[in-house]
Structure 1
Amino acid sequence: MSSLEIPFYLKDPKSNHETKIYIKKSINSKQFKYYTTESVNPDNWNFQKQKAKLIDSESYRLNDYLLYLSKIVSSKIKIFKRLYKGDEIDFDLLRKHIDIEIEDNPYQKDEEIKAEIKNSKISLFSELDDFIYLKSKKTKDGKIDKTDPYYKKYNNVRNKLIKFNKHIGETLTFDHLRKFEMYDLMMDFLYYEIENSTNTAGRFIGFFKTFVKFCKSKYVKELSDIDLSHWKKVTEEADVIFFDEEQLASIENFQYPEFSAKDMCRDVLVLLCHTGMRYSDYENLKPFHIKKTHIIKSFIKTKSKNNLIPLDGVTRRIIDKYLKRYRETGIFFHKIALKNFSELIKVISKDAGLVDDISLVRNYGKVRKEFVGPFYSFVSSHIGRRTFITLSLHRGMSIYEVMDITDHADAKSLKPYAKVSDKALIRSHKNAWD
């Protein structure tokens, strides 16, 4: 549905060129038409919302003008209906008064009216929808390509904001963002209500700030006072949220019924810990990527200089288990929804006895907050990659060899993982001094 008070139509909606935009409104059972001075190519028109598709600055200007015009026409129609008291309205006179109103208040020159219209109509969710449409790839018929990564990313942001609405009991608006405490409410929601990992919460904050920055550039006057500089991407101390060798062995050796949900999730988790793959990489893994001694990295989501991931004895056994099933049933690894995987690996970690309380410090800009809980409660899908990097470095692989496998861009990215764990420190000290 259109967000405009008065519906707009195209004179020739099938034209290959620009065509006039006009108003059509039923008044006292008669059709009133008013042709605007504006034209648009039908390819650039959103017929459902009855306004221009947001593709450039001109489309923003046009939609603002149509909104302005719809308010004038709506106001004049109400006045004429009241004055004529049910009698037939003189449409020519109505058009004349609309023209006078527009002439007396030229839209292009009247900044106060523009600001008033925008302020009264800026909707965070409508702007987000327009932002998603503008940034996402389109299909040939002009619709959003829902396989586009940009669409997936920001549609996920939208879905979380809808859940946040329910969490706070009202619809999120730009006015909410003017409240300093909104950041804390959002972070509590991300961590405790929907149990996002630190990385996931950090990505959300980054994406959301990008969207708000875009809106501020569009509505310079109206949103200039919104300051999200304190909405920091959260970081955490990485040394406590990887599996050490004993913990990883406990998970590897815990027995589940073969090909049960827990068994398959545990196998995937171990595979990630031994290869450094992301969960999204595992989702794209196919049998033809598997070689005798390694995995071909053609499916990895980032460009890779090195083309393989070596297989060790543990990963070889897991791969062979699922290749055998593939030959028998045509099913390789089951595709497990990330949400389900994230929940199950917490249960698996608990089953394996990883229940000791640990302290996790998260940094909100300059503010440090400490969280205490059982180890398994902090386990997320990213722990596999962290475990691989940390244990590889502890076992003597060079940082550049690890980078070659994980495809990190520079050594700085791996610096947090190079911090030695307590057990590794004790072991090294013992080897040196005992």
Structure 2
Amino acid sequence: MAYNCTFNLKDPSSKKPTLIYLRASIKSQNKYLKYSTGEKIHPKLWDAESKFPIKQKGKTKEAIEVNSIISQLSRYEEQFQLICRTLELQNKPLTVEVIRKELDIEFKKYSPKKNEFLEAFDLLIAEKKEQGNITEGTINRYTNIQTLLKEFSLKKNYPLQFNSIDQNFYTKFLNYSREHLKHKDNTLGRNIGFIKTFMNWAFNNKFHDNLEFKSFKKPSSATDEIALSMEELETLYNADLTKHPRLERVRDIFIFGCSTGMRYSDYSTIKKENIRNGIIYKNAQKGKDNLGIPLNKYSKAILEKYNYNLPIISPSKFRDYIKLACAKAGFVEDIIKTTFIGKKRIETKKPKYKFISTHTARRTFITLSLEKGMRPDVVMSITGHKSYSSFQKYIKLSTKVREDEMIKAWS
């Protein structure tokens, strides 16, 4: 497809040099792109028919200036066409906003200066929103990292510049996160990952040439996350919560998650139109796969109970109510959960129901499916895990399988 643009004067009847705009029709949006080139020219030196400067001969000051403008406008035209072709090849939306952003990057209109490190996050967040290929939750995490870095810079008096993101920054940020914020290893690891993603994006967009961030390691440690046993799942499923309708609704949606392996963001929004021939079809929020998840006796019974339209409950209310529902079901025995802040081992003792979260449902499905003999690759196809490494953290939860195998081998 041909991508054409033209140039127009801001004020064709001006008696002095006036701005030159690039204009193009973006048919996919039925909009016009109007983009200032920053170049100015006197209307007497402009060809209204070709919509381009009149080429000058000789080496006068006027000729040199006009021919320089011609060269720059040619750059704008070539870059506009390159952006459009690239977006088309990548199957990305061709919109006024995206083209404007790419032109800004190429012609350095918003290239962060050395003291504008944090402002570059705004460009990244705007780009992610425009691309529409990540969840709102992930966008919020980028915003949270931006806030976290601002606070770190103020409290530790550490100047944040692209060239200051080095091993010194890495050490100070780890210490600040662990000592001041009490961030556990996995939380800290995720934050370092977001910082590396940001620095890599900024490098690719030519905002800096500092590659020290490539060596930053993401802290992580094994955690003994909670998953329900089959007996506990049955106990919760059969618990009489009729006197507590809000808890009953949350319990039912939670059991639906335990029996499908879906993320809360997905299983909490299931509608009747997502079910066809006993199979759930719904695009996962964190991916574009339209997972076909067969119903089982639990998920089918819950859908039928609500006429295939599950109740909608806010995430914050869900987090509170599922703990109360599990307390009503009798999950009150104290358990110890171990986490790490660097080398420091943290043991937290609480009643089990206080450790139950929305994500416990997904962990429960994976754990019980493996215990019941489902192949890991089949479970992964249901849960939507792309890599075996990200799936492995769930496999360690299946302690019953290890116990059975130990008895089988050594009895």
TM-score by length of 2: 0.61
State which drifts further: 381-390 or 413-422: 413-422
Checking the alignment, whether the CA contact within 8 Å between 1:164 and 1:186 is kept in structure 2 is no
2:359 maps to what in 1? 382
Question: Partner amino acid for 1:59?
Answer: F
Aligned to 2:296: 311
- Structure 1 equivalent of residue 313 of structure 2: 336
Distance 1:296 1:380, change over 3 A: same
Report the secondary structure of 2:348's partner residue. Answer: strand
Deviation of 1:182 (Å): 1.5
SS in 1 for 2:364: helix
Q: 1:430 to 1:20 in 2, by over 3 A?
A: closer
* Alpha-carbon offset, residue 15 of structure 1: 5.0
Hey, what's the Cα distance between the residues in 1 that align with 2:199 and 2:396? Answer: 36
The superposition leaves residues 360-390 of structure 1 with CA deviations (integer Å, 9 ceiling, x where unpaired) of 24596xx574442324444332221211111
Partner Cα distance (2:103, 2:178) in 1: 33
Q: How far has the Cα of 1:130 moved from its partner?
A: 1.4
Partner AA of 1:11 in structure 2: L
1:236 corresponding residue in structure 2:
222
Which of 201, 208, 211 is equivalent to 1:220?
Answer: 208
SS in structure 1 at match of 2:130: coil
- CA separation in 1, counterparts of 2:327 and 2:154? 34
Q: Distance in 1 between matches of 2:386 and 2:338?
A: 27
Give distance in 1, aligned partners of 2:138 and 2:250: 25
Query: Which residue is 1:406 aligned to?
Result: 383
- Matches of residues 18-417 of structure 1 in structure 2 within 5 Å? 21=38, 53-55=101-103, 58-60=106-108, 62-63=109-110, 118-119=113-114, 121-124=115-118, 126-137=119-130, 148-149=133-134, 153-159=138-144, 161-162=146-147, 165=150, 174=160, 178-179=168-169, 180-186=171-177, 198=186, 203-216=190-203, 218-220=206-208, 223=210, 227=213, 229-232=215-218, 234-237=220-223, 240-257=225-242, 260-291=245-276, 294-301=278-285, 302=287, 307-312=292-297, 314-323=298-307, 332-351=309-328, 352-362=330-340, 369-374=345-350, 375-409=352-386, 413-417=390-394
Q: Is the 8 A contact 1:183 1:231 kept in 2?
A: no
Displacement of 1:417 in angstroms is 3.2
Amino acid at match of 1:400: D
Contact 2:327-2:353 at 8 Å conserved across structures: yes
Offset at 1:21? 2.3
Alignment check: 8 A CA contact 1:349 1:376 kept: yes
Q: What is the CA-CA distance between 1:129 and the residue it aligns to?
A: 0.8
CA drift of 1:183 comes to: 2.6
Q: What is the rounded CA distance, in whole Å, between the counterparts of 1:168 and 1:350 in structure 2?
A: 42
SS of 2:253's equivalent in the other structure is helix
Contact 1:361 1:369 survives alignment (8 Å): yes
Change in CA separation of 1:54 and 1:231 when aligned onto 2, cut-off 3 Å: farther
- Residue 134 of structure 1 and its aligned partner are, at CA, apart by 3.7
From the superposition, tell whether residues 172 and 233 of structure 1 become closer, same or farther in structure 2 (CA, over 3 Å): same
Mapped to 1, the partners of 2:39 and 2:105 lie a distance apart of: 21
1:54-111 per-residue CA deviation (whole Å, 9 max, x = no partner) reads: 5465322x556xxxxxxxxxxxxxxxxxxxxxxxxxxxxxxxxxxxxxxxxxxxxxxx
Displacement after TM superposition at 1:236 (Å):
2.7
SS in 2 for 1:275: coil
Which deviations, in whole Å up to 9, do the C-alpha atoms of 1:290-338 show, x marking residues without a partner? 357x3322434546597332312x2222111111xx6xxxxx2233333
Whether 2:19 is the aligned partner of 1:11: answer yes
Taking the TM superposition and a 5 Å limit, the aligned residue runs for 1:415-434 are 415-419=392-396, 421-422=398-399
Superposition RMSD in Å: 4.6
Give the structure 2 partner of residue 26 of structure 1.
Answer: none
Give yes or no for contact 2:227–2:397 (8 Å, CA) kept in 1. Answer: no
Aligned-pair identity in percent equals: 25
Relative distance call for 1:417 and 1:341 in structure 2 (3 A) is: same
**Separation (CA, whole Å) in 1 of partners of 2:231 and 2:280:** 29
Following TM superposition, by how much is the alpha carbon of 1:286 offset from its aligned partner in structure 2, in angstroms? 1.4
Aligned-partner SS, 1:307: strand
Partner of 1:111: none
2:358 aligns to what SS in structure 1? coil
Q: Distance in 2 between matches of 1:10 and 1:346?
A: 66
1:215 CA displacement: 2.9
Residue 211 of structure 1: CA displacement? Answer: 0.3
Amino acid at match of 1:161: Q
Unaligned runs of 5+ in 2: 1-16, 25-33, 41-64, 81-99
Distance 1:248 1:417, change over 3 A: same
Tell me if the contact between 2:185 and 2:341 (Cα under 8 Å) persists in the aligned partners: no
The answer on whether the counterparts of 2:280 and 2:291 sit within 8 Å (CA) in structure 1 is no
